[in-house]
Structure 1
Amino acid sequence: MGSSEDTRRARLWRRAAHQRGYFTAAQAIEDGYTYQAQHYHVDTGKWVRVDRGVYRLREFGDLPAGEHDHLVRWALWSQGDGVISHITALAIHDLGIANAARIHLTVPPGFRRQHPSIALHRTELAPDEVEEHEGFRVTRPARAIAESAAEGVDQDVIDSAVAELLDRGVATKGQLLRAAQRVGSRAELAVERAIHRELT
């Protein structure tokens, strides 16, 4: 293996290591792998194709899986536009009793891709509503509660999430209400109910 191969592999490895072993075809191109070289690495088993244009280095499949590894895949599938959100975000933050059947992803209004495993929500998120995790972005706890409430998630789920959020001191009642107001009246009503039940 020549020095140029060592260099491009090192670049890709560093990138993939921050994305739980995942990377896109476009990222591989940036790191020096032509499409022909990408096909070769898939054919020889060095890379695993997990979706159209999304790969994972084989070695990462041999490591113990992280709880949120699969979310990196969907962040890459969305070409970096997607933010894990709604009840999937509640689960990441370990708030309440949420259990999503599909992964919820918030994308910009012009986003066009679809996938049966993904529940897409199209809206613009403000920078203060999002936080970085290893390899993906997720809506902050107060936003996750508000957007879940706006989608009509059971009040019991909202109540439990609000109770845990306030108990941990992650956000104040005022911050939670402001997050709900940004999302809409349905969210505001559900969050107000949850706060009232927490105080009684």
Structure 2
Amino acid sequence: MSDERGPRDRLWQVAARQRGYFTAADALAAGYSYQAQRFHRQRGNWLRVDRAVYRFREYLDLPSEDTDQFVRWSIWSRDRAVVSHTSALAVHDLGIANPAEIHLTVPPGFRQQNSAVVLHRARLTDEDVQRHSGFQVTTPLRAVLETAAAGMDQDIVDSAAGELLARGMVSRRRLLHAAQEMGARTELAVERALRAEAE
């Protein structure tokens, strides 16, 4: 059965799952030649966000979400970046994290760079990652552990671990065991957080 939708409908369907963002490759697959893409950029129908990353202009008129920026970075990384560390804590609304920087975990061989993000290299398992609307994010437990492992402010670790426990998302024993598996620095920060939570 042939697809009777036009290029715009096909591209819109892709972009709608990504808060209006899409790539030049998405546009090409939807039926826009490079010449047609240039036309839409020049007319202001598509807003250039980054090299070969665009957004439909109409999305500027829609209510934005705090997580829109993460969708953009997911597309930039070709879905290889996972929102992590304090950025993941903010997505999960855990503790007092309000990061000025965007933290992403990427595979060890990832080569792209951008000064607007902080890249951490690690191999994440399926158990470490959750799918969010248009991007991937580390789980609440993993977000607490990697924040502790990175030596970030102890108050942030304390508040996030406290909320993780208060919400019943993990037991104290599981949290401490997972911290031990990540190394001495993580274990120490989590032990401090557990002491603070018990006071």
In the alignment, residue 125 of structure 2 is paired with which amino acid? A
- Which amino acid is the alignment partner of residue 78 of structure 2? Q
Please show how residues 18-29 of structure 1 align to structure 2 within 5 Å. 18-29=17-28
Residues 47-126 of structure 1: matches in 2 within 5 Å?
47-126=46-125
Aligned to 2:148: 149
Q: 1:177 to 1:27 in 2, by over 3 A?
A: farther
2:163 is equivalent to residue 164 of structure 1: yes
Tell me, yes or no, if structure 1 residue 32 matches structure 2 residue 20: no
Q: What is the letter of the counterpart of residue 34 of structure 1?
A: S
Contact 1:142 1:175 in 2 (8 A): no
Rounded to whole Å, the distance in 2 between the matches of 1:158 and 1:192 is 10
For the residues of structure 2 that align with 1:176 and 1:38, how far apart are their CA atoms? 49
Q: Compared with structure 1, are the counterparts of its residues 36 and 160 closer, same or farther at alpha carbon in structure 2 (3 Å cutoff)? A: same
Amino acid at match of 1:72: V
TM-score by length of 1: 0.93
Q: Over the residues paired in the alignment, what is the CA RMSD in angstroms?
A: 1.7
TM superposition shift of 1:143:
0.4
What residue in structure 1 maps to residue 186 of structure 2? 187
Distance in 1 (CA, whole Å) between partners of 2:27 and 2:177 is 41
Report SS of the residue matched to 2:6. Answer: helix
| Offset at residue 5 of structure 1 (A) | 9.1
Unaligned runs of 5+ in 2: none
Q: Distance in 1 between matches of 2:18 and 2:174?
A: 31
What is the TM-score when the length of structure 2 is the normalising length?
0.93
Deviations 1:73-130 (A, max 9, x none): 1111111110000001111111111121210000000111111110000111000110
Q: Please, which runs of 5 or more residues in structure 1 have no aligned partner?
A: none
- Seen in structure 2, the aligned counterparts of structure 1 residues 35 and 177 have a Cα distance that, compared at 3 Å, is farther
Structure 1 moving runs of 4+ over 3 Å: none
Q: Which residue identity lines up with residue 97 of structure 1 in the other structure?
A: I
Q: Secondary structure of the equivalent of 1:147? A: helix
Query: Aligned equivalents of 1:89 and 1:11: distance in 2?
Result: 31
Q: Percent identity?
A: 56
Q: Which stretch of structure 1 is more off in the superposition, 117-126 or 188-197?
A: 188-197
